[in-house]
A and B are shown apart, each in its own frame.
Chain A
Amino acid sequence: MKTFYVNARYLIVPLMTIATIFGIFLGNNFVWLGVILFGFNTIIDTLTKDIHLRADFDEDGNSFGIKKFQYAVMYLMLPTFIVLQIILAWRLFHYTSAYPIEVLSLFGINYQSGISGINLIGATLSAGLWAGLGIIYGHELSHNRKEGFFISRLIMSLSGASHFTYAHVYNHHLDLGHEDDPATAPRGRNVYHHAWLSHVGQSKYSFDLERDKLKKQRKSFFSLSNKWIIGYLYSLPSIILFVWAGGVIGILSLLVVWVISNFLLEALNFMGHYGLIREHGKPVEHRHSWDNDNVFTSWFFIEIGRQGDHHVRGETYFWELDDVDAPNYGIGYFSLFVLTLIPPLFRKFTKELLEDWDRNKATDSERKIAHQIGNL
C-alpha cells in the first residue's frame, strides 16, 4: 500500500495534462480547463501550506519509489506534451480555416468542431500553462541517465528552451548563488526582468559552452556537433506545425505558449534561489537554496521544491529528496508564484526571510556581499 501511495502521488501533473488535452479536444468552454486547473491548484496549494511530509523509506533505508515506473512516467510525458501541441494546432486549424461551430462525434465522444476566437485564446493559455509545467520533467531528466538527458532536451525544445538542459547542469549547479549564474535572481530583481535575463543568460552560456568545446575538438562552430544549434533545431517541428496550422495566428499562438512556459520555468528559478548568496568557489550547501515543500507543492512539482537537498545531492532521484532544514518560504510554489507577480508584495514577503538568512545562515563574506548589494 505504501509503495502504491509513494508512486501514485506524483501523477498529478500527468493526469491534469491529459485532462487539459481532453478539454481542448472537447472544445467550447472546456478549452479553459487548463487555466481553471491552474487556479484550482493555487487554492489547494495555499490551503495545504502547513502540511509537510518527509521522504519515505522502509526500515532498511530503501525508498518506496520505483525507478522504472517513475522513469516510464517521465518518458511518457514527452509524447503527452507533443499531443498537447498537436491538439492546440488542430484547434488553430479549425479557427483559421473557419470551421463551422457544430457538435460532432468521435468514437462516441461528442466534441465541438470549430472554435471561437475567445476560446482559441483559452486553448492557447491552457496549453501554455501545462507546457510550462512540463519543465519539471525536463529538469528531472537532465540529471539522470544519457537517454534521460536527451528526452529532457526534447521536452524543453517544445518550449523553445532546449539550451536549459546544458545550462542547468553546467552553469546553474556549478555557479548557483553567484553572479555567474543567470538563473539565480539577486535581491531587488523582479520576476519579469529575471525571466528575460535568465533565459537569455542561460542560452548565451550554452552558446559559449559549445563554442569552447568545439574549439577544443578542433571542429567548426557550425557543425552537427554544436548542441546549442541542434537544440534550437529540435524546436523546428513545433514552428512548422503552427505555421501550417495557423499561419501568422499560429506563430502568435506558439509565441504565447513559449512565453508562458518559459516564464513559468524562470519563475521557478527565481523562487528557488532569490536573494541567496554564495561566495565564488565555496561549496554549495543546503542554505544556498530555498525550499518549498508543503505537501501539494511536493507532489505536484515532483519534489523540485526540495532545492536544498537537490543542489547538494544532484544525482538523487526526486522521490528520495528530503527536508534538510534549508531556508524555507513557508508557502507553496503556486502561492509564492502569485506573490512574485506583484513585485512590491514579493519583496515585502521576502524582506524578513532574507534578513533572517543574513543573520543566521550567511557567512561573514556572504553577509558582506549582501550588504554591498543592499547599498546599490
Chain B
Amino acid sequence: MFNLFKKKAKFYSAKILNNDKEFKVSKGKNLLAAALDDGINWPHKCRVGSCGSCKYKLIKGKISPDIDFGYVLSFDELNDGYALACQSSLKSDVEVEIELKK
C-alpha cells in the first residue's frame, strides 16, 4: 500500500555563473541542500530561512519560495532577484550568482 505513494525522482540543473560550477537538484530538495550534497561550499548558517547567509541572485530560471523571503531580504534585494537557497524549490533549470565560501 505504501508503495503507491512512491514516485520517481526528477532532476533540475543549477549553474553558478560566477564560479562555473553546475550541479543537479532533485525534485523535493532545496537548492542549498543539493549544493552541499555536491560538495559545494555554499555559505549557510541556519538552513531554515531565518539568517540570510545562503542568499543568492537568480539570473535565469524559476524557483518557488518555501517561505516568505521578505522577513530576511530587503525590498531592493527582492526586486533584484535575490532569494534564499535553503528555501528555494526549483521549478526549472536555473542559473545563479553567489559568492562561495573559500
Contact = CB atoms under 8 A, between A and B. Distances in A.
Contacts of A240: none
B66 A144 contact: yes
B79 interface: no
Contact of B74 (A144, A209, A216): A216
Interface string A301-319: 0000000000011110000
A322 B51 CA distance: 24
B50 A169 contact: yes
Given A145-B66, A174-B46, A314-B47, A213 B5 contact: no
Contacts of B7: 68
A349 interface: no
A169 B5 contact: no
Contact of B5 (A66, A216, A283, A312): A66
- Range of interface residues on A (Cβ < 8 Å): 20 to 34
Name the prevailing secondary structure of the B interface residues: loop
B96 interface: no
Nearest to A170: B50
A312 B46 CA distance: 7
- Range of interface residues on B (Cβ < 8 Å): 20 to 34
B67 A173 contact: no
B48 interface: yes
Contacts, number: 62
Contact of A149 (B2, B47, B67, B72): B67
A284 B46 contact: yes
A213 B70 CA distance: 7
Contact of A66 (B2, B46, B67): B2
Contacts of A149: 66-67
B21 to A, nearest CB: 21
B71 interface: yes
Interface string A1-17: 00110010000000000
Nearest to A144: B66
A291 to B, nearest CB: 18
A366 B72 CA distance: 28
B25 interface: no
B58 interface: no
B58 to A, nearest CB: 17
A69 interface: yes
A195 B30 CA distance: 34
A213 to B, nearest CB: 6
Contacts of B48: 143, 169, 173, 314-315
A171 B67 CA distance: 15
A213 B75 CA distance: 10
A146 interface: yes
Nearest to B73: A216
Interface string B47-76: 111110000000000001111001110110
A169 B2 contact: no
Contact of A217 (B1, B3, B49, B75): B75
Interface string A138-155: 000001111001000000
Contacts of B33: 315
Contacts of B5: 66, 68-69, 72
B86 interface: yes
A143 B50 CA distance: 11
A67 interface: yes
Contacts of A4: 1-2
B50 A173 contact: yes
A97 B3 CA distance: 49
29 contacts: A3-B3, A7-B2, A66-B2, A66-B5, A67-B28, A68-B7, A69-B2, A69-B5, A72-B5, A144-B66, A145-B66, A146-B66, A149-B66, A166-B71, A169-B49, A171-B50, A174-B50, A174-B51, A209-B71, A213-B70, A213-B71, A216-B74, A216-B75, A217-B70, A284-B45, A313-B47, A314-B47, A315-B47, A315-B48
For the complex of A and B, the 8 pairs showing the least CB-CB separation, nearest first, are A314-B48, A68-B5, A170-B50, A314-B47, A174-B50, A69-B5, A66-B5, A173-B48
Interface of A: 3-4, 7, 66-69, 72, 143-146, 149, 166, 169-171, 173-174, 209, 213, 216-217, 283-284, 312-315
Given A69-B5, A166-B71, 9 more contacts: A4-B1, A67-B28, A146-B65, A146-B66, A174-B51, A216-B70, A217-B70, A217-B75, A284-B46
